[in-house]
Amino acid sequence: MNDDRQTSQPATPRRWPKLLLAVSLVFNLVVIGAVVGANLRHEQDTRRFPPPDPEMTRALGMAPLIDALPRETRRDIGVRLRAELGGTRPHRATLEAEFAAMLAALRADPFDPEALASMLDAQQARVAARVAAGRAVFLDALAQMNPADRAAFADRLEQRIARGPRPPH
């Protein structure tokens, strides 16, 4: 008796299980990398909530206050300010128009210092409104803290002040 299995050539190995295994391994590595990367970046995630401009907070004397706040409180303050002010910075088109007008006033002959002064006054008023809004939101966040959280904030603030200013990046 002749057995067809014995006389036929060995079956060629299938490639799809190896390919599926390789794809699965790559996918698992990508997922693990994303999880590890997200955990490493947890405290540095600036995509949705960029940190305040350190130069501005330093100039306003706000850096120690902001640094001493818990991360969630800083995030809540940022969300509220964005909602109240329509973003954290003036719109680029507005700034471009203001500076174009300022450049025109500077190049005008005869020079009109009152026109330039009114432009500077408008800028100062916008900045003052933003500072007032930030102050109100900051005070409200502190008022919503319980006494233990405020005491912890005071402790962090005291440590931050004792440490001194951070060197600029």
pLDDT 10s digits, 126-141: 888 888 888 888 899 9
Specify whether 41 is located in the same domain as 109: no
Residue 23 clears pLDDT 70, i.e. is over it: yes
Which class for 133: exposed (0-12), middle (13-18), buried (19 or more C-beta within 10 A)? Answer: middle
Residue 168 placed within a domain: no
Tell me what pLDDT residue 20 has.
Answer: 78
Pair 64, 104 in one domain: yes
**157 and 94 in a common domain:** yes
| 1 part of a folded domain | no
- Domain of 109 in residue numbering reads as 47-163
In a domain, 63, yes or no: yes
Same-domain status, 59 and 18: no
Statement to judge: residues 54 and 124 lie in one domain? yes
Is residue 4 one of the residues assigned to a domain? Answer: no
| 0.85 surpassed by pTM | no
Asked, for residue 129, whether it belongs to a domain, the answer is yes
Q: How many domains does the chain have?
A: 2
106 lies in the same domain as 132: yes
Task: Give the separation between CA 95 and CA 127, rounded to whole angstroms.
Answer: 12
Residue 23: closest CA among 13, 15, 11: 15
- Residues 77 and 132 grouped into a single domain: yes
Same domain, 21 and 62: no
The answer to whether residues 58 and 165 touch, using CB atoms and an 8 Å cutoff, is yes
Is the Cβ–Cβ distance between 80 and 137 less than 8 Å? Answer: yes
- Pair (21, 65) in one structural domain: no
Higher pLDDT, 32 or 50: 32
- Looking at the predicted structure, is the pLDDT value of residue 101 above 60? yes
Average pLDDT, the chain: 78
